[in-house]
Amino acid sequence: MYQFIENGSVTVPKGFKASGVFCGIKKKKKDLALIYSDTPCIAAGTFTLNKVKAAPILITRDIIEKNQKVKAVLINSGNANACTGDPGHKDALLMQKWCAESLHILPEEVLIGSTGVIGQKLPIEKLFSGINHAVENLSHHGGMDAAKAIMTTDTKIKSFAVCIQLNGGIVTLGAICKGSGMIAPNMATMLGFITTDADIEKSLLQKILLEAVDISFNKISVDGESSTNDMVLLLANGQSGISINESSDDLIIFVEALNTLCKEMAKSIVSDGEGATKLVTISVKNAKSKNDADLIGKSIANSSLVKTAIYGADANWGRILSAAGHSGAEIDPTKVSISFNELPVLLPNFNLTLDENSAHKILSLPEYVINVDIGLGSGEATWWTCDLTEDYIKINSDYRS
């Protein structure tokens, strides 16, 4: 019913263009991205829960909450424009206004995002010339350039597209995202931009985005830090001519594709975590409730002790059980079972079945699953995390150099 498109990006859906250029915020690499739709878009968004919010977050959230249609998203990297007070807010508005004038649209039709170092003033003059350059370079093939331009400490381009066969015809989803550090499950934990040529009304678009984010971006952890600039935006321009509504049979198919896309985006962020060498799925089952399963999964995913054990391929199941125990969820440690992939290491009543050599082989793989059966109910949750390495410290100790 749907399939991923090789080398896909935000420009795969009909009517979308993008560009990514160098404007001088960074020393050499692309640092300004622009996504543009030929026709107005319905926009949905989710934003960081950090009480310290960057100026672009406040401006973009306000536009989306007012239910305004938009045509463009402008994103700079290398500078977060966070904790910059009134001057930073004015710079964000200037950035938005200049882009709008260059595109011959209204300022409120431009959403903005920033990522990078906190507390530094935007080099606004460089941005002005960069915006002109980005507008000139808009292309139906510019999605990969946009994906490169939003990267900070990322080591991999994160760009995707999905083709969806609906009863009414074909629609597509495109996406780019960035994220490597300051990743914690507190919405949205990164920057993500999704486009679609489906026709969906605002309240439904917002609803399905929130649901998709909850099972993907809100279930990942690299370092337990929630950024000041996190957002996920979803733009729908309707150019496919295919409408999706609450009563449509196509809604189930579209939602499944969107959920899968968001999970792949989220996993790409964790696997590219700063200094990370492993992507680990944490599968919690049979908790007393879904909320308890989430609490346990989050606690394990965020645990520095678990993450360092992952790095060392150390079958230290005690760290996993300890993280579950201080999660705040109801737990009876005598009922807990833990396994690595299909290899059991702990059974109820602290019955140890650990085979150190077999466990070490699994824990040395680049991807594997930690299964935690709580044995108290039917609540389930899936989370994704990565290891914590020496390189994480190195990257973050000289990030601004």
Q: What positions carry a catalytic annotation? A: 189
User: In the predicted model, is pLDDT for residue 183 greater than 50?
Assistant: no
> In which residue are the tokens 């709008």 written?
100
Classify domain 279-397 at the CATH topology level: Ubiquitin-like (UB roll) (3.10.20)
- What rounded mean pLDDT belongs to the chain? 91
Q: Where are the domains of the chain?
A: 2-270, 279-397
Show the CA angle centred on residue 236, arms to residues 234 and 240, nearest 5°: 145
Predicted pLDDT of residue 182: 47
pTM of the model: 0.86
Predicted pLDDT of residue 219: 87
Predicted pLDDT of residue 397: 55
Q: Given pLDDT bands bounded at 50, 70 and 90, which one contains residue 386?
A: confident
Inter-CA distances, 147 with 42, 172, 244, 350, 383, Å: 22, 18, 28, 48, 25
pLDDT tens, 18-73?
Answer: 999 999 999 889 999 999 999 999 999 999 877 788 899 999 999 999 988 999 99
pLDDT tens, 253-279?
Answer: 999 999 999 999 988 888 776 667 899
CATH for the stretch 2-270: 3.60.70.12
Predicted pLDDT of residue 31: 96
Q: Given pLDDT bands bounded at 50, 70 and 90, which one contains residue 398?
A: low
Summarize the chain as % helix, strand, coil (round to 5).
35, 30, 35
Backbone angles phi and psi of 22, in degrees to 5: -100, 125
Half-sphere exposure of 382 (CA within 13 A, CB side): 10
User: In the predicted model, is pLDDT for residue 153 greater than 80?
Assistant: no
Exposed/middle/buried for residue 45 (C-beta within 10 Å: 0-12, 13-18, 19+): buried
User: In the predicted model, is pLDDT for residue 394 greater than 70?
Assistant: no
Exposed/middle/buried for residue 125 (C-beta within 10 Å: 0-12, 13-18, 19+): exposed
Q: Which of 124-133, 179-188, 244-253, 387-396 has the lowest average pLDDT?
A: 179-188
Predicted pLDDT of residue 187: 35
Q: Is 270 within 8 Å of 386 (Cβ atoms)?
A: yes
pLDDT higher at 225 or 235:
235
Q: Is 85 within 8 Å of 59 (Cβ atoms)?
A: no
% of the chain with per-residue pLDDT over 70: 92
Cβ atoms < 10 Å from Cβ of 65: 10
Q: Is 37 within 8 Å of 73 (Cβ atoms)?
A: no
pLDDT tens, 286-301?
Answer: 999 999 999 999 999 9
Exposed/middle/buried for residue 6 (C-beta within 10 Å: 0-12, 13-18, 19+): exposed
Predicted pLDDT of residue 230: 81
How many residues would you count in the chain?
401
Per-residue pLDDT, averaged over 106-121, amounts to 93
Q: Is 384 within 8 Å of 301 (Cβ atoms)?
A: yes
